[in-house]
Amino acid sequence: MVSVADTPKDSFRLSMLIYDTRYRAITIQTVIVLLVMAGVWWLLGNLFYNLDQLGKSPSFSFLWNRAGYDINQTLIPYTNDDTHFRAMLVGLVNTLLVAFLGCVAATMIGVFVGVLRLSSNWLVARLMTVYVEIFRNVPVLLWILVAFAIFTEVTPSPRDFKVTDEMIAQGEAPAASMLLMDSVAITNRGTFIPSALYSRSLGEFHIGFLPISLNTLAVLAAFVIGVLVFRAIGRRATAIQESTGVRPVVWWQRLLALFGPLLAVLIGLGFHLEYPTLGGFNFTGGILIGNSLMALWLGLTLYTAAFIGEIVRAGIAAISKGQTEAAHALGLRPGRTMNLVILPQALRVIVPPLISQYLNLTKNSSLAVAVSYMDLRGTLGGITLNQTGRELECMLLLMLIYLVISLLISTGMNIYNNAVKLKER
């Protein structure tokens, strides 16, 4: 009986790292990584040595020094006696506010424009085309400056809202009047809107430097509960429809579930509005929204909405016309066809480029320095940098914060993209 022995395996040799295709790729990648790390180490060492020679050894201790400057628009408590770190937080919150409001408004306008660009009405489609071509072909900074000029030069001053006894006797109206049942005043000093107040307070607690109102948490919790119940009722109605073929009437239940808990909490807390009133040379009460914030938000919104409109139009056009014809054959109206058939399928084409537009809007918010809106660029990258002379540290913090914000937006939108993409069986 003859047995055939297995082919002996070659033992490992160092030359195999270069000549053996199984190891060559790993060797090359390892060498490149080591060279890159060595280059970065040399650059950092050279940088720190030169900074040390100039008496500017890297240090972030300046963040705990007194800031000494005021910020005109804040969402969290701040005074000029607070630290530079507190000022940085205020700027960060202001940046997030503009980014959030801009993304929401730009998405709403962009979807509206994208759908109307495909309208069969010639005039409507051409008007939307004009909007897209005008706004996306002019730099966003110019639109921000134009909006700021309109809010500061065209809008009336507070004294134009004043009503005197002589005007009443002569039956004359003031040069300017408030909007929305005398609740909103747009002036060259800012826009005054009603503020939310509560007769009863649940108190507040602090997370580090940030005060958290329990009233606000209660309202948010009631809203979230209402949304969850609203969706649960809808899923139950869909299940009944799939099993019996008849969809129960649940619209009133869904509305009650959505607004019932919220209204109950608001009534329990004694919710009411404080309206701005003209007193002396300016309005008092309510909330003042600076013209710089309004101009920045409007400019970023209209500019980004033009790009989102084109993205939505391309996503809808990517769906086969047979889908629309099939929906019409089933008796669906054009509006229902768009909401239930076309847009859900177009999302897989719309969402990926939409992420880039959200990131661009967030980063373009740094142009706020042009209209003196104190965002992250204006606080940490502006006054704090100039006062402390810590250019390297401020720039590193700015880049790190913007990087984290962008990664969070990308992660959230990618999760949503995976949820709406087509599922293969």
Adjacent-strand bridge partners of 190: 187
In this structure, is the dihedral angle defined by the CA atoms of residues 100, 106, 112 and 114, taken in order, positive or negative? Answer: negative
Residue 75 lies in a domain: no
Decide which of 274, 293, 320 is a domain's last residue: 274
Q: Which residue range(s) make up the domain with 288?
A: 84-193+278-420
CA distances from 47 to 40, 43, 61, 160 (A): 10, 6, 19, 58
- DSSP at 55: T
pLDDT less than 70: residues of the chain? 1-10, 209, 422-425
Decide which of 206, 240, 274 is a domain's last residue: 274
In sequence order, what are the residues at sequence separation of 6 or more whose Cβ sits closer than 8 angstroms to the Cβ of residue 37?
none
Residues 122 and 170 in one domain: yes
Beta carbons of 189 and 195 less than 8 angstroms apart? no
Between the CA atoms of 107, 112, 117 and 119, what dihedral angle is there, to the nearest 10 degrees? Answer: 150
**Block residue for tokens 């084109």:** 310
Residue 403 lies in a domain: yes
CA separation for the pair 378, 271 (Å, rounded): 35
Tokens representing 125 are 């489609």
CA separation for the pair 187, 176 (Å, rounded): 9
98: helix, coil or strand?
A: helix
Residues 392 and 343 in one domain: yes
Residues 216 and 185 in one domain: no
Residues 247 and 381 in one domain: no
Closest CA to 361 of 112, 18, 99: 99
278: helix, coil or strand?
A: strand
Work out how many domains the chain is built from and give that number: 2
263: enclosing H helix or E strand: helix 251-268
Residues 251 and 111 in one domain: no
Residues 343 and 241 in one domain: no
Digit-coded pLDDT (tens) for 104-149:
999 999 999 998 998 889 999 999 999 999 999 999 999 999 999 9
> The pTM is what?
0.84
210: enclosing H helix or E strand: strand 210-213
Residue 17 lies in a domain: no
**Block residue for tokens 């042009």:** 370
179: helix, coil or strand?
A: strand
Residues 415 and 270 in one domain: no
> DSSP E strands: which ranges in 203-328?
204-207, 210-213, 271-274, 277-279, 282-284, 287-289
Residue 50 lies in a domain: no
Neighbouring C-beta atoms of residue 331, cutoff 10 Å: 7
Residues 321 and 391 in one domain: yes
Residues 141 and 207 in one domain: no
CA separation for the pair 361, 100 (Å, rounded): 9
| pLDDT score recorded for residue 371 | 92
Question: Backbone phi, then psi, for 129, in 5-degree steps?
Answer: -65, -40
CA distances from 244 to 191, 241, 248, 249, 341 (A): 54, 5, 10, 14, 22
Residue 270 lies in a domain: yes
Residues 254 and 317 in one domain: no
Residues 342 and 380 in one domain: yes
Decide which of 235, 257, 274 is a domain's last residue: 274
Residue 258 lies in a domain: yes
Q: How far is CA 248 from the centre of its chain?
A: 37
What CATH number should be reported for the domain holding residue 88? Answer: 1.10.3720.10
CA separation for the pair 211, 38 (Å, rounded): 45
